[in-house]
Structures are given as structure tokens and as C-alpha cells.
Amino acid sequence: MSGPLTPYDPQDDGAEMAFDGRMSYGDYLALDRLLGAQVPISSAHDEMLFIIQHQTSELWMKLAIHELIAARARIAADDLEPAFKMLTRIARIFEQLNSAWQVLRTMTPSEYSEFRDRLGQSSGFQSYQYRAIEFLAGNKNAAMLRPHAHLKDVHGELERILREPSLYDEAVRLLARRGFAVDQAVLKRDVTRPHAQDESVRQAWIEVYRDPVRYWQLYELAEKLVDFEDYFRRWRFNHVTTVERVIGFKRGTGGTSGVTYLKRMLDVVLFPELWSLRADL
């Protein structure tokens, strides 16, 4: 019979085991700050789930903003290959965010009611990172700056994004640079307002889709944009159904109409020509 196994020591394989004065995994990721940021304000068991759900969503949104800004800059510079990778990553980020709703849905209405009153007027409606994503994607609305007026730096950053061309604005400008007859009114429009469907833009994308071999880069860009909006729409839909499942049609903690407000957002289309053209192919 063989004797007891000798416990494995990673140091025997060369693993670093001493970190006094050296950067460790926890140091690099600032885990002391990250894991210390979950501070429930009630004794309810499920409040920890609620906090982590929203904090991790904000982390993923931070990455989405990083990628959206970079992709927009690449499209503006006619450097599309890196933009494709970034747009793919953004879609996968929203796939991840969609999966997270499944965890929150394990919280029942009675469990949420144990701490909901302690949230005061705080609401996901006030997420400035979500607002930045909406603005970057093209759903511009200056009224949405007001909930952030008390945060000077945040308000200034959102106002800057509001006044810049959106991701789709840059895609439409790219069409014009590639020789498509995009109406000048579209190219010179007020970018602080959402893009409205335009026939010249629609005809340009139709031409791209009718000859994808000739316009392969533009064709791929269009499909990457559709992929992003597809997952973004699913995220909005899952948000609605999760809220309806947990609180029904109660008014939101931030004062919105709750599910009714969220359902209104389902009608928002970021890249309208890319969806409407499909009926003509």
C-alpha cells in the first residue's frame, strides 16, 4: 500500500509565494477597495445580491464606454478593422449584462420589499454610465443631464458626449466619405438630438447590402452595429421583465413610472436605416 500523499507546494514549481513589498494579484486589482465597496444599509439578506448586481453592471458598462469611444474614433479615422473587434466586444459585454438579470430574478418581490424603502430616491435611472452609453450610441436627450447636475465633473462629461457625434453619426459620415450620396442636412445636423431615419442614408446602406463583396468593410460595419443594438435591445427588454417580475407596476424609487417608463425605451431604435432596409432586400 502506498503512503499518504505529500501535500503539493506550488513553490516547488517556481510559484512566487512571498509578496512583502511586491505587487500581488490583490494589489493590482485593488481588491481591498473593490470588495470593500459592498455596504448594505439594511439587514435584508438579498440586499448584497442587489448591490453586487448593480456594481458589476457598472463595471461592465465602464468597459463598454471605453470600447464605444475607441470604436467611434477608429471609424472617424477610416480605420475599420480595429473598430470591428471593439464593436464585437461591446455586443459580448451586453450579452454578459443580459445573463446577469438571471441572477437578480432569483430575488422575489417579498425579498426586495425588505429593503426597498431604504433606497430613498436612488434608482438605476440615475446611472451616468448608462446615460453615457445611450448618448454615445445616439439616443441623445439633453433633459437626461438634469439628474447629474449635482455632480459637476459627471455633468460636464455627459454634456461633452451629448455635443459630440455619436457612433452612428460617424458611420454615416463614413458612408459620405466612401462616395455615397448622403444628404448634407444629415451630415450637418444638430448632433445633440437623436438621429432620425433619412432616406439618403437608407439608400446608401441598401446599396451596401445589395453588393456586400464590393463594399465588404461597410457591410461588416453595418452588421456589427446591428449586433450591438440587438444585444442592447435585449438588455432593455430583460430590464423591463425583471422589474415587472420583482415590483410589478409600482412607481420607481427614482420617481419614474417604473415598468411603463422602461417599456417606452423599448421603442427607441438607434440605427433605424439598418433595420428598415431589410424589408427591401
> Which positions make up the binding site for heme?
239
The whole-angstrom separation of Cα 271 and Cα 160 is 21
> Distance (Å, rounded) from C-alpha 57 to C-alpha 51?
10
Binding site members: 50-54, 112, 116, 239, 253
Annotated binding site for substrate: 50-54, 112, 116, 253
DSSP symbol at 193: S
Tell me the C-alpha distance between 11 and 187, whole Å. Answer: 62
Extract the C-alpha cell encoding 254: 427614482
Instruction: Determine the residue type at 115.
Output: F
CB atoms within 10 A of CB 160: 11
Nearest Cα neighbor of 249 from 258, 240, 261 is 258
Alpha-carbon distance of 48 to 35, in angstroms, equals 12
Owner of C-alpha cell 438588455 = 235
The Cα 33–Cα 52 span in angstroms is 14
